[in-house]
Amino acid sequence: MIVIVAPGQGSQTPGFLEPWLDLEGAREQLGAISDAVGIDLVAHGTTSDADTIRDTKVAQPLIVAAGLLTLSSLFADGRREKVGGVAGHSVGEVTAAAAAGILSDTDAVAFVRERGRAMADAAALEPTGMSAVLGGDEAALLERLAELDLFPANFNGGGQLVVAGALPALAELAESPVAGTRVIPLQVAGAFHTRYMQPAVAHLTEFAATLESHDPTLPIWTNRDGSRVTSGSEFVNLLVGQVSSPVRWDRTMEAFAAAGVTGIIELAPAGALVGLAKRGLKGVPTVAVKTPDDLQAAFEMIDGNS
C-alpha cells in the first residue's frame, strides 16, 4: 500500500517552485491559485527570499499550492486509483483533504488562505515561538515543559518533539535542556498547535461552515490521533481544531504501519516527512518529490505496487 503524504510549514525554500513551472499547465494552475488567494504565489515560489516566504500568510498557501501542483502530475494516467491513502502534516492536511476529494481545490485554497491569515493574526497577539527537541526521554521532557508552561505541539516520532510557547520559556529550555536532548529554535511566527491559536479556531469555525465537503474517496488519516476518518464534514472540523491542538504524526505513522504501508511518497516541498519515515517506519521505501525529476521514481513506486 502506497501512502501519499503532504508536508507542513517550514518545508518551503526560496525558488523551490521554479522547476515545476516548466511542466505543461503548471504556471496556469499556480496562477489560478494565486488569483483565488490574492497572493502572487508564482513570484513567492520562484523569486521571493526566505524571510518573505516564512510569513505564515504566504507560507501556508504556498505549501498547499505546491502539493496541488505535485498531485496534478502524480495522479495523472489513472494513478490515483492505485494509491492506498493520504495524510498531511499540519497545513499539509489541507492538501490531503483535496487529494482525498473532501474539499475541492478551490475550497482547499480558500481554507488555507483563511488559516494562514488567522494564525498569523493570533501569533501577533503575544511573542511566542517553537523549538524542535531531539532525543531524550519523552516523559522527562513533558514534565519539564509543564514546569515552564510550554506545550508539546508536534509529536513527530523518531525521537523528535516540537514544543511551543512564550519566547523566554523557550530560551530557558534551550539554556537548560533536559538530559540527552538538543533544542533547535524554529523560524516560525508563533506557538502553533497550542492554546495561543484559539482566536484562529474561532474564525475558522465560521469560515468552514461556508465550505462544501464530501466524504473521502481515498483513505485519509488525521493528525489528531492517527485514526482513519470516513466523514468529510468530520475531517473539516478536525482541520479547524487542529490549529490549536498537537499534531500526532507519530500516531499517524503507527497507523500507516498497522495498515500495511509498503511505500511513502512525499509531495513538494518534500524532505521532512520522508526523513521522519526513515526513523519511524524503518525499512519502508520512500520517495521525496522535490522537483519534477523525482516524479519518475514516484510513478515506478505506485505502478510497482498496483
Residues noted as catalytic: 90, 193
Rounded to 5°, the CA angle 13-87-75 comes to 80
Q: How many angstroms separate the CA atoms of 122 and 293, rounded?
A: 38
3-state DSSP call for residue 203? helix
3-state DSSP call for residue 249? helix
Query: Which ranges of the chain does DSSP label H, i.e. alpha helix?
Result: 26-37, 41-46, 50-54, 56-74, 92-99, 105-123, 138-148, 167-175, 198-208, 232-242, 249-259, 272-280, 295-304
- CA dihedral of residues 251, 253, 256, 260 (deg, nearest 10): -120
Q: Position of cell 499550492? A: 65
Contact 208, 237 (CB under 8 A): yes
The sheet that has 2-6: what strands, in order across it?
85-88, 2-6, 263-266, 286-288
DSSP label of 155: E
3-state DSSP call for residue 94? helix
**Torsions phi, psi for 154 (to 5 deg):** -130, 115
Look up residue 242 and give its three cell numbers. 487542529
